Every structure is written in structure tokens, then in C-alpha cells.
Amino acid sequence: RRARGRVLVFVDDDCAVHRDYLRDLERHYASGEQWLIRGGRVELGDARDLPFTIKRSWARERLTPDVHPGGFVLGCNMTMHRDVAARIGYFDERFGAGGPLRSAEDTDYLVRAMLLGIAVEYVPDMTIFHHHGRRDRKAIEKLHRDYSLGNGGLCLKHVRHAPWLLRHFYWAARGAIRELAGGPAFDRELNLPHWPIVAMNLLGAARFAVLLLARRPRAEPVRQDQQANAQAR
């Protein structure tokens, strides 16, 4: 609401930008392509932090329904032209830290962009360093659950217009069943399982349903004079 610039850049308060960040940003916008959201590389800012909430891919690519939008472009390193933001609208504050769904406000934004025909692109430069400070497994497991909670609400919110999101829930459920037979974990490096994803997805969908019901307008009580007028007619 307060931004006045032509280009919007989202960087979290626990991140530091690479010295070439603005140069990379300027080069990408010089291409003239305006109608897209672009995200860059996210590295650990402190080697003592566990390798989570980062993206180190060297491949430049665009988001398709075959890829889960969560983590494709991270909200701590995201940029767009202000006209793009004006078309998509504000973030849905039911999602994200401090909201009832705890996360996925950036993922929701990407899905809304795709539904409007706005491209989402990851580039391997535009680097930021994330000092997230999580160094014990308990903190990572909580964040893993929070992400899955938000993604569950996301699935229900967009089930009519982006039913392909349900495909990713199916893949998580299939992965969870395979884990019982010795299959791989969701994150092999951190040994994070699939089951919290499935459980928290369901809980997130249920919580979003409750939020929808809470927002429904209540029927106003009919006054006696209205009843009398109706009977007279």
C-alpha cells in the first residue's frame, strides 16, 4: 500500500542481498518483459543454520502446474513490476506468519498470478543470504508442519480454478505410503517424512473451511412489522 516505486522487491528482514543484487535486478528488467513475477537464488547466510528455506538451483525455469508452487520462488526473494502487483491484488492475510494458516502467503500469490496468465520465473542469480537461525531439528520440523498447514488451506481455496494442486497432495500421500515400505523421505538430507505433510494438509483445508464459514453473512432476523407486511401482501 505504501510503495511508490515502479519495481517492487520483497526481501525478508533476516536476509542480506548479494553485492550484485541490484545489478542483476536491473539486467532482468532491462529485457522489457513486464508481466511476470521473478525470484532469485536463496543461500544460507550462516553455515550453522540447517539447509531449509533456501533454493540453490542453477537452472532458470518457469513455473508450471507440474511443479508445486511452494518454494518455487521464495517470498524472501521476489520481485515484480508494480502493475503486476496491482493486477493480482494484496496478499491474503489468512495465510502467512501471524495468520491462522501460518504460511503460504507467497505461494497463494504465485497461484493467483498463474490464474491471471502472469508468468512466474526463477533465476539463479539475484542472490540473497538467508539468516533464518534455525539450528535444531525441532525448529525445522515445526516449520515443515506450518508450511504444510498453509498448503492445505491453499488447496481448498483454489480447488475450483486450480485443481492441479490436488495432484501434489496425492503425490505426498503416495510418498507417505511408500515410506512405510522403506521408501525415501520427503527431504532426504534432513530426513523429513511425508506424513506431516499429509496430516497438516488436511488440517489446513479444514481450518480454511472454518474461516470461510466464519465469514458467511448471517441471516438477519425478520422483524414483526416485516412479517405483517409480508402477510398483508
Where exactly are the structural domains of the chain?
Answer: 7-214
Average pLDDT over residues 36-43: 98
Under the banding of pLDDT at 50, 70 and 90, the label for residue 220 is low
Percent with pLDDT over 90 in the chain: 91
Contact assessment for residue 69 and residue 155, using Cβ atoms and an 8 Å cutoff: no
Q: Which strands form 128-130's sheet, in the order they lie side by side?
A: 15-17, 128-130, 42-44
- Residue 201 pLDDT > 80: yes
- Over the range 179-218, which residues count as b (16 or more CB within 10 Å of their CB) and which as e? eeeeeeebeeeeebbbbbbbebbbbbbebbeebeeeeeee
CATH 3.30.1490 assigned to domain 7-214? The reply is no
- Residue 230 pLDDT > 50: no
Under the banding of pLDDT at 50, 70 and 90, the label for residue 219 is low
Under the banding of pLDDT at 50, 70 and 90, the label for residue 1 is confident
